Amino acid sequence: MTFAVLFAMGTIIMAQDDKKDENLEKDGWVNIFNGEDLTGWEANDTQGFFFVEDGMIKGQGGRCHLYYMEELQNFELKIDVYINDKGNSGVYFHAPWIQNNWPVEGFEIQVNATHSDPVKTGSLYNIIKLFESPCPPDTWFTYHIIVVGDSVTVKIDDKVLYTYVDPMGPKGVRGIKHISQPGYIALQQHDPGTHPQFKNIYLKKLP
């Protein structure tokens, strides 16, 4: 929770971000990024490609993935995301830890407004392909990702894009991975031309 406070006429008025934090926390959400450093997170590749600045997680340089180091099953994730023009990033879920490589056995929700990769923001990579981004580059949007059993629901700014139910159940996609597998949340830094930013990262565990 942030602690920005406005003072007016002797009355303490909570800033808007604080009200948001309090409302989410009352409903069982936990802020998993403290806004100051990467406590609880670990990069799987070159150190320094992810860093904290101005209360945000930022990416730079080449390939790297930043893992939230708690294995999860059923959960909701809310995260504010920014991607630059020609940038390419993603938010992974149920990703096994892998060192110095792409987390291909996890599931990536794409972040890409104008990169040459035709698969754009909102896509469930290699499964649901959206070829037009619902969000322009250089603007913030909020992902709300809900993972329960064999299903994942993806929302952007409170609008539902889709709910995907794994047709293979526990056998998963081509027998390699399945939505219901446990794993980690991870943020992607894709290439030197990519400069993603992330903030307000809230997690709610579900039964």
Cα separation values, 9 from 6, 12, 13, 129, 184, Å: 10, 9, 10, 53, 47
CATH 2.60.120.560 fits 11-205, yes or no: yes
Q: What is the pLDDT of residues 65-92, one digit of tens each?
A: 999 999 999 999 999 999 999 999 999 9
Given this model, what pLDDT does residue 21 score? 66
pTM: 0.87
Given this model, what pLDDT does residue 175 score? 61
Given this model, what pLDDT does residue 120 score? 98
- Phi, psi of 169, rounded to the nearest 5 degrees: 55, -135
Mean pLDDT by 10 residues, the chain (207 residues): 34 45 78 97 93 97 97 98 98 96 95 98 97 98 97 98 87 75 97 97 97
Domain map of the chain by residue range? 11-205
- What amino acid is encoded at 111 in this protein? V
- Phi, psi of 147, rounded to the nearest 5 degrees: -120, 115
Burial group, residue 139, by CB count within 10 angstroms (0-12, 13-18, 19+): exposed
Given this model, what pLDDT does residue 47 score? 84
